[in-house]
């Protein structure tokens, strides 16, 4: 992948993450678009500059999480894994990364997404249908510009 | 694609070339409990934020052997004494550590049982070959009459 493409992808992820933060703030106070987003980017230089590092951190944690929990049917065991908890601790910046994982494979990212965002877009999906829940979360992310 | 987890043979060291067959690729859409119950759903007694898990109505929402026995009773199973093949019946085996259920398998024939390994692959295996650190020991057997075809 050309460097420019990587930079564009990272920028898109940064904007999406920032957008999510602004979106989650909408319940607290009304926000418009451009100026607030720019202010957010300016106030979070470490976060934005380190997005490549954050992506690497996320992938490492996600791989360790799979390694530890892939043979478990217990959702409790799956979400209490320390790597999963660290991903939740990454906060809003992890959301586009998680949603892109969900696009690849409908794994148990729902608890993390709900914990970080407070949203529940899969609440009307059929019981036990992980694929439907994943599709609902992906639609939610696309509609908000968090992922494409 | 996300990186695949480690080979299942590392997690279940009692599985050998001679006592099991891999039957599917990685598929995280359903778990062992749903699979043993004949579905491709994720069964779990506790509410899962962000998605709707399946659990039979009226069954205690507890991660206990008793609650899992009741979940399979909802599907027509009753506790029985062993895993011997019985004409006209199908059986499941519940695995656990103490009172904590960890796995369920359903009988295929005299030799093999079918298991979904968590959110990973399906295998056919000799029953005790998946006992160990991951799933503990067999705690209960249950059976029901095979549905009329």
Q: What does the pLDDT look like over B49-74, one tens digit per residue? A: 999 999 999 999 999 999 999 999 99
Other CB atoms within a 10 A radius of the CB of residue B85 amount to 12
Tokens for A102, please give them: 């969900």
- Of the candidates B4, B5, B34, which has its C-beta nearest A128's C-beta? B34
Distances (CA, A) of A9 to A51, A138, B94: 10, 18, 47
Contact across the interface for A75 and B118, Cβ inside 8 Å: no
Which residue of chain B comes nearest to A103, CA vs CA? B1
Query: Helix, strand, coil: what percent of chain B each, to 5?
Result: 15, 30, 55
Contact across the interface for A76 and B63, Cβ inside 8 Å: yes
Q: What does the domain layout of chain A look like in residue ranges?
A: 3-143
Contact across the interface for B119 and A108, Cβ inside 8 Å: yes
Cβ neighbours of residue B38 under 8 Å, at least 6 residues apart? B75, B106
Read off the pLDDT of residues B128-146 as tens digits, 9 standing for 90 and up. 999 999 999 999 999 999 9
Q: Is B51 left (phi over 0), alpha (psi -120 to 50) or beta?
A: beta
Read off the pLDDT of residues B72-119 as tens digits, 9 standing for 90 and up. 999 999 999 999 999 999 999 999 999 999 999 999 999 999 999 998
**Contact B104/B117 with Cβ under 8 angstroms?**
no
**Contact A72/A81 with Cβ under 8 angstroms?**
no
- Of the candidates A63, A110, A115, which has its C-beta nearest B51's C-beta? A110
Residues of A in contact with B33 (CB under 8 A): 73
pLDDT tier at B27, thresholds 50, 70, 90? very high
Give pLDDT, residue B7.
83
**Contact A102/A78 with Cβ under 8 angstroms?**
no
Give pLDDT, residue A53.
87
Mean pLDDT by 10 residues, chain A (148 residues): 40 47 38 44 53 89 95 93 97 95 96 96 97 98 94
How many whole angstroms separate alpha carbon B9 and alpha carbon B120? 12
Contact across the interface for B119 and A72, Cβ inside 8 Å: yes
pLDDT tier at B32, thresholds 50, 70, 90? very high
Cβ neighbours of residue B50 under 8 Å, at least 6 residues apart? A109, A110, A111, A112, A113, A114, A115, A120, A122, A133, A137
- Of the candidates A63, A66, A127, which has its C-beta nearest B54's C-beta? A127
How many whole angstroms separate alpha carbon B50 and alpha carbon A106? 13
- Of the candidates A70, A114, A122, which has its C-beta nearest B120's C-beta? A70
First to last CA, chain B: 40
Contact across the interface for A75 and B102, Cβ inside 8 Å: no
ipTM of the complex: 0.89
Residues of A in contact with B6 (CB under 8 A): 67, 70
Nearest-neighbour CA in chain B from A130: distance (Å): 5
Q: What does the domain layout of chain B look like in residue ranges?
A: 26-145
Nearest-neighbour CA in chain A from B43: distance (Å): 6
Contact across the interface for B50 and A113, Cβ inside 8 Å: yes
Contact across the interface for B33 and A128, Cβ inside 8 Å: no
**Contact A140/A119 with Cβ under 8 angstroms?**
yes
Residues of A in contact with B57 (CB under 8 A): none
Mean pLDDT of the residues in chain B: 94
């Amino acid at each position: 992948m050309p460097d420019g493409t990587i930079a564009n992808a990272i920028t898109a992820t940064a904007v999406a993450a920032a957008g999510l933060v602004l979106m989650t703030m909408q319940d607290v106070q009304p926000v418009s678009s451009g100026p607030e987003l720019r202010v957010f980017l300016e106030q979070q230089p470490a976060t934005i500059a380190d997005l490549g590092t954050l992506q690497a951190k996320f992938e490492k944690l996600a791989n360790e999480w799979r390694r530890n929990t892939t043979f478990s049917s217990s959702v409790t065991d799956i979400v209490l894994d320390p790597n999963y908890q660290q991903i939740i601790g990454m906060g809003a910046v992890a959301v586009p990364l998680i949603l892109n994982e969900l696009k690849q494979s409908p794994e148990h990212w729902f608890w993390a997404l709900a914990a970080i965002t407070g949203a529940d877009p899969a609440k009307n999906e059929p019981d036990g249908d992980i694929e439907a829940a994943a599709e609902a979360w992906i639609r939610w992310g696309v509609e908000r510009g968090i992922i494409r | 694609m996300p990186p695949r987890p480690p080979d299942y043979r590392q997690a279940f060291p009692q599985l050998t070339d001679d006592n099991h067959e891999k039957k599917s690729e990685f598929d995280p859409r359903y778990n062992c409990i749903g699979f043993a119950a004949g579905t491709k759903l994720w069964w779990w007694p506790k509410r899962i934020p962000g998605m709707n898990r399946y659990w039979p109505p009226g069954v205690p929402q507890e991660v206990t052997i008793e609650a899992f026995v009741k979940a399979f009773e909802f599907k027509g199973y009753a506790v029985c004494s062993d895993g011997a093949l019985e004409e006209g019946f199908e059986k499941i085996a519940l695995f656990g550590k103490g009172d904590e259920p960890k796995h369920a398998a359903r009988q295929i024939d005299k030799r093999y049982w079918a298991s979904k390994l968590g959110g990973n692959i399906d295998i056919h295996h000799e029953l005790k070959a998946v006992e160990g650190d991951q799933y503990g020991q067999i705690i209960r057997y249950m059976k029901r009459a095979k549905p009329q075809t």
